[in-house]
């Protein structure tokens, strides 16, 4: 499965070049690594639960059965223990793995029953690897495909932004214009989905949208991006209050950019805050429903 897919880009505006560049970031390097693990072609006898759960399925769902067997092998292989770990110390491998797996599961599978069977099989199989499952349960997101895709794009942007935020000064990085274009495309995408959540909705997806907006505005990160990338704020076609929301961005023209030192301590403020909130968000992903309620959301 291609990554990053960047399907939310409106046109081919350096999309291929940007995709190649993003693949060098930690998150997408992890995706490449975990895909290789999921694609190993050896079968263990302890994976019969996959066959049981998928008896009588339609032929087009056979890919899901094969994926179940390969992920079963992955779970039961003691050499993969390090992936079942969460938090900053292990680079959030569990959280990244959940997103990548659900992306694979839902790519060509429309049947919610078959997706449910897939995750029930993994849960049963994981009784043989209870410590791994306790640390990192590969639970079903139970999300519609389009909603999950939007959630995935939000998640990936937040995790990759902490890497690319230091690389958008053209005085320091020759690829800065491509990173800047990626941010500009994402801000436009954000504006297409920002109103998809009711005001009081507390799903993981909606919490992430609110967190993105609040932190980027409260910590002046948008102005930081505009200064480094030589952009200016502009309303999106969906309508944007540029003073109180994440705006669309456009080129200033030939004006000079504001150079910001690579060692500027202010550059780390938004990154640290976003990372802390993401760490808070990650445990929520272990639930079986996206309607998990939270009492307070630390900003």
List the one residue out of 280, 90, 96 whose CA is nearest residue 204: 280
Residues 297, 210 contacting (CB under 8 angstroms): yes
- Angstrom distance (rounded) from CA 136 to CA 150: 23
Q: Residue 283, Cβ neighbours under 10 Å: how many? A: 13
Mean pLDDT of 146-162: 91
What is residue 256's three-state secondary structure?
coil
From CA 200, how far away is CA 138, in angstroms rounded?
28
**Given pLDDT bands bounded at 50, 70 and 90, which one contains residue 206?**
confident
Mean pLDDT (whole number) for 4-11: 88
CA–CA dist 216, 222 (Å, integer): 6
Residue 266 has pLDDT above 70, yes or no: no
Write out pLDDT tens, residues 176-203.
999 999 999 999 999 999 888 887 777 8
What pLDDT, on a 0 to 100 scale, did the predictor assign at position 271? 61
Are 196 and 282 in contact, with CB atoms under 8 Å apart?
A: no
Instruction: Check residue 181 and give its pLDDT.
Output: 95
pTM: 0.83
SS3 265: coil
């Amino acid at each position: 499965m291609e990554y990053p897919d960047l399907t939310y880009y409106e046109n081919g505006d350096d999309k291929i070049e940007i995709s190649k560049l993003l693949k060098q970031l930690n998150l997408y390097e992890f995706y490449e690594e975990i895909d290789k693990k999921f694609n190993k072609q050896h079968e263990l006898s302890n994976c019969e639960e996959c066959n049981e759960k998928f008896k009588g399925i339609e032929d087009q769902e056979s890919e899901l059965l094969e994926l179940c067997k390969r992920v079963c092998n992955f779970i039961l292989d003691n050499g993969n223990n390090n992936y079942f770990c969460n938090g900053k110390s292990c680079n959030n491998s569990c959280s990244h793995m959940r997103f990548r797996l659900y992306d694979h599961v839902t790519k060509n599978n429309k049947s919610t029953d078959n997706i449910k069977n897939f995750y029930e099989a993994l849960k049963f199989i994981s009784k043989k690897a209870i410590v791994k499952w306790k640390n990192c349960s590969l639970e079903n997101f139970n999300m519609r495909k389009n909603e999950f895709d939007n959630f995935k794009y939000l998640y990936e942007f937040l995790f990759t932004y902490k890497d690319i935020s230091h690389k958008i000064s053209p005085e320091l990085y020759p690829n800065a214009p491509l990173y800047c274009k990626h941010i500009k495309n994402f801000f436009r995408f954000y504006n297409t989905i920002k109103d998809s959540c009711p005001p009081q909705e507390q799903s993981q997806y909606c919490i992430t949208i609110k967190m993105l907006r609040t932190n980027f505005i409260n910590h002046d990160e948008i102005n930081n991006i505009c200064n480094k990338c030589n952009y200016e704020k502009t309303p999106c076609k969906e309508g944007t209050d540029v003073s109180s929301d994440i705006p669309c961005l456009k080129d200033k023209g030939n004006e000079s950019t504001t150079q910001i030192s690579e060692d500027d301590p202010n550059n780390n403020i938004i990154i640290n805050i976003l990372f802390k909130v993401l760490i808070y968000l990650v445990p929520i992903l272990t639930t079986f429903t996206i309607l998990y309620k939270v009492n307070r959301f630390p900003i």
